[in-house]
Homo-oligomer: A and B are copies of this chain.
Amino acid sequence: MVLGLRLHSALYPSWGLACLLPRSFASCPGKSDSCLTMPQLGLLHRRAWASLLGQLRRPPGAVCIRVVHSHSQVAEATLTSQLKPHQEKSNFIIKTPKGTRDLSPQQMVVREKILDMVVSCFKRHGAKGLDTPAFELKEMLTEKYGEDSMLIYDLKDQGGELLSLRYDLTVPFARYLAMNKVKKMKRYHVGKVWRRESPTIVQGRYREFCQCDFDIAGQFDPMIPDAECLKIMCEILSGLQLGDFLIKVNDRRILDGIFAVCGIPESKFHAICSSIDKLDKMSWKDVRHEMVAKKGLAPEVADRIGDYVQCHGGVSLVEQMFQDSELSQNQHALEGLRDLKLLFEYLTLFGVAEKISFDLSLARGLDYYTGVIYEAVLLQTSARAGEEPLNVGSVAAGGRYDGLVGMFDPKGHKVPCVGLSIGVERIFSIVEQRMKNVGEKIRTTETEVFVATPQKNFLQERLKLIAELWDAGIKAELMYKNNPKLLTQLRYCENMGIPLMVIIGEQELKEGVIKLRSVASREEVAIKRENLVAEIQKRLSES
């Protein structure tokens, strides 16, 4: 089953090539035992592979080739065949991986505006920056995410450590705290995370996306940091002008209490929690069915759960729960209710209580939460004229995770933590859509001055002039042409929104001046060369 291939190529003179068909091939239809030799294959070119694959009538899927270097070094290359059986295509498709995308300059401008706003809020609350690697030792991520662990991207075992791409920024933060024995820290982290989500990209869901996290680690008096996290979420969501929003709040201990009171065995807590978490996408009827049919709950137990988890309200609901004769006997629930009451008190002082809803259906998927949990949702306002309504669901979430750091500590020492994560991809979709709807034009460069000439053979003077501007810190561009047309240069400034133009020609050179033109007003004035930088800086500071 080994294809012997030799390469005679200028690019890979000393490389021999042996193609090993993948093990799975043995069980594929259309397999061939014949040994192909292609002594003049030349470059390891995709078309050659397509032809080779065609000869083998290879079914779609992956083909592994092993390239053996003559100096006993080995490299492996793997190609995904784009070929369908009986439907061969010799061009390969240029694309980004499924669930990922490039951000164009226009999108980058929007993204940067949003991130600046988020980070400045984190800094306003005294957070320090932190960065962690994109991948972690695989074992650092195990046992942290429950059923979601299946969505973790693993790296190929290429010798050495087994690695996985980070799934969130929270677990690396906890790992950092444990590793450096840090007992107290307020940090923010903006970075990409990766999740092998189901292929449908809807509602701004990607497999690679950016998270903005803020967390407070340390042993403090109850609910003060927790309240600050909710205040931060309010400041960011208000600041980004995303329309009306609501933050649902609950507590894992209250949920545990409810489950216990309803008679659910402790072993089923997590499974029921994950069913309840679906209440924002599924009706109570469907969730009830799942709990009864799939998770083996007695119908009457499910109904008792239903009575609870369909409740939501403000601080009055907390009071109401305190009156619940059964729930108030449960130690866990009681602790959760007391903390929520205190939380509402602090949120009132922060002036954001009216944005918060105590919602017993909020469960949050991740395993590591231990106390208060929250999730911010945008409220659908009546769609404005011409504006497509965009359903984005949750845009920020978080909670308390007092046990996570202890999972990393050899002695199990705990560091209580509470934090939040802003889902900027979703916010980004909204802001982008809004800008499209209003037809807002985005400048993708910050260029302030364009260096132009109306004459031929003035490249040298333009280069000298632009270097002066750059050295003075002025953002400047010119055409990379020996003899550009003046009209082309003017149009470029107008298209790119460059406010100022400096023009140099023979006349100006003779008189020791430069023409300074305002692109918008088309006014031109001649300015002494030695005063040019100062004049430009004056104009820019005025605008």
| Chain A: interface size category | 35 or more
Cβ–Cβ < 8 Å partners of A158 in chain B: 153-154, 196
Which one, A301-309, A326-334, A463-471, A507-515, is touching chain B?
A463-471
Q: Is A200 an interface residue (CB 8 A)?
A: no
Instruction: Provide the residues of chain B in CB contact with A150, threshold 8 Å.
Output: 73, 75
Taking the closest CB of chain B, its distance from the CB of A274, in whole angstroms, is: 11
Give the top 7 A-B pairs by smallest Cβ distance, nearest first: A220-B480, A105-B128, A108-B129, A100-B133, A126-B477, A103-B131, A154-B156
Q: List 30 A-B contacts (CB under 8 A).
A: A11-B367, A13-B268, A75-B149, A77-B149, A78-B154, A78-B162, A92-B410, A94-B408, A97-B135, A97-B161, A100-B135, A102-B132, A102-B179, A103-B129, A105-B187, A108-B130, A126-B475, A127-B445, A128-B445, A129-B444, A153-B156, A155-B155, A156-B156, A220-B481, A221-B459, A221-B480, A235-B471, A349-B463, A349-B464, A349-B467
Find chain B residues with CB under 8 A from A218 CB: 480
Please give the distance in Å from A257's CB to the nearest CB on chain B: 16
In the bound complex, residues from chain B placing their C-beta under 8 Å from that of A476 are 124-126
Q: Complex Cα distance A471/B125, Å? A: 11
Determine if B128 and A444 form an interchain contact, defined as CB atoms under 8 angstroms apart: yes
> Which positions 137-189 of chain A face chain B at CB distance < 8 Å?
137-140, 142-143, 146-147, 149-150, 153-158, 160-163, 165, 175-176, 178-179, 187
Give Cα A231–Cα B466 distance, bound, in whole angstroms. Answer: 11
Cβ–Cβ < 8 Å partners of A344 in chain B: none
Does A437 make an interface contact (CB < 8 A)? Answer: no
Collect the chain B residues with CB atoms within 8 Å of residue A44's CB. Answer: 142-143
Q: Is the CB of B79 within 8 A of A139?
A: yes
In the complex, chain B residues whose CB is within 8 Å of the CB of A270? 10-11, 13
Q: Shortest Cβ distance from A222 into chain B, in angstroms?
A: 9
Contact of A129 among B112, B137, B155, B178 (CB under 8 A): B112
A282 to B132, CA, bound (A): 35
Contacts of A94 in B (CB 8 A): 140, 175, 178-179, 408-410
* Distance in angstroms between the alpha carbons of A463 and B175 in the assembled complex: 31
Contact of A13 among B156, B271, B471 (CB under 8 A): B271
Residues of B with C-beta under 8 A to A71:
294
Assembly CA distance A471 to B92 (angstroms): 54
Tell which of B46, B97, B126, B134 touches A136, judged by Cβ atoms closer than 8 Å.
B97
- Any B CB within 8 A of the CB of A525: no
Q: For chain A residues 27-75, which have a beta carbon within 8 Å of chain B? A: 43-46, 62, 69, 71, 73, 75
Contact present for B480 and A216 (CB under 8 Å):
yes
Knowing A155-B153, A155-B154, say if A351 contacts B444 (CB, 8 Å). Answer: no
Inter-chain contact A132/B96, CB cutoff 8 Å: yes
Q: Is there contact, CB below 8 Å, between B156 and A446?
A: no
The closest CB in chain B to the CB of A349 belongs to B463
Known: A94-B408, A464-B349. A192 touches B112 (CB 8 A): no
**What is the distance, in angstroms, from A295's C-beta to the closest C-beta of chain B?**
8
Known: A62-B162, A80-B161, A94-B175. A123 touches B446 (CB 8 A): yes
Complex CA distance for A162 and B45, rounded to whole angstroms: 17
Q: Is A285 an interface residue (CB 8 A)?
A: no
- Contact, CB under 8 Å: A133 / B459: no
With A108-B129, A224-B480 known, 19 other A-B pairs at CB within 8 A are A73-B150, A77-B149, A78-B154, A79-B139, A94-B408, A96-B132, A96-B137, A97-B135, A98-B160, A98-B161, A100-B135, A123-B446, A128-B444, A133-B208, A135-B208, A153-B156, A216-B480, A218-B480, A221-B459
Contacts of A269 in B (CB 8 A): 10
List of B residues within 8 angstroms of A102 by Cβ: 130-133, 176, 179
Q: Which residues of B contact A84 (CB under 8 A)?
A: none
CA–CA, A367 to B132, complex, Å?
A: 31
A499 at the interface (CB under 8 A from B): no
Q: Are A126 and B208 in contact (CB-based, < 8 A)?
A: no
Residue A473 lies at the interface, judged by CB distance under 8 Å to chain B: yes
* A300 CB–B CB distance under 8 Å: no
Smallest Cβ distance from A251 to chain B, in angstroms? 19
Is A369's beta carbon under 8 Å from chain B?
no
> What separation, in Å, do the CA atoms of A302 and B216 have in the docked complex?
63
Q: Which residues of B contact A100 (CB under 8 A)?
A: 133, 135
Min CB gap A459→B, angstroms: 7
How far apart sit A314 and B169, CA to CA, in the bound complex (Å)? 50
User: How far apart sit A13 and B267, CA to CA, in the bound complex (Å)?
Assistant: 6
* A134 B208 Cβ-Cβ under 8 A: yes
A338 contacts across to B, CB distance below 8 A: none
For chain A, residues 82 to 104, give those with C-beta under 8 angstroms from any C-beta of chain B: 91-92, 94-98, 100-104
Nearest-neighbor residue (CB-CB) of A75 within chain B: B150
